[in-house]
Amino acid sequence: MPNIFDEPKELKKWAMKLANSCGGQQVSTGPILTKLDMKKIISLVEVFVNDHNEYTIAVEQAEKEEE
């Protein structure tokens, strides 16, 4: 399986799978095409990484408090 960051298409496929796994409105491909926006991708990935790290730290702290 390729790294999702190797090509924008792989990242898009991953994001659509994630969005559809969350329930609600179905995300699908369509004939509307847009240009690649690397600045926006970088910004969104940074939010994902920062929020993931913050969440992971909170979970680890909660587990330590339970012990």
Task: Express each pLDDT in 3-18 by its tens digit.
Answer: 888 888 888 888 999 9
Cα Rg, the chain, nearest whole Å: 16
What's the whole-number mean pLDDT along residues 54-65?
93
1 — pLDDT class (breaks 50, 70, 90): low
Taking the whole predicted model, whether its pTM rises above 0.75 is answered as no
Above pLDDT 70, what percent of the chain?
Answer: 99
Indicate whether 25 and 40 sit together in one domain: no
The structure tokens listed for 67 are 């012990």
| SS3 category, 63 | helix
Indicate whether 48 and 23 sit together in one domain: no
pLDDT of residue 28: 86
Indicate whether 22 and 49 sit together in one domain: no
Pairwise CA distance, residues 13 & 7, whole Å: 10
Task: Provide φ and ψ at 42, rounded to 5°.
Answer: -60, -45
Residue numbers of the domain that contains 14:
1-33
49 — pLDDT class (breaks 50, 70, 90): very high
Contact 9, 36 (CB under 8 A): no
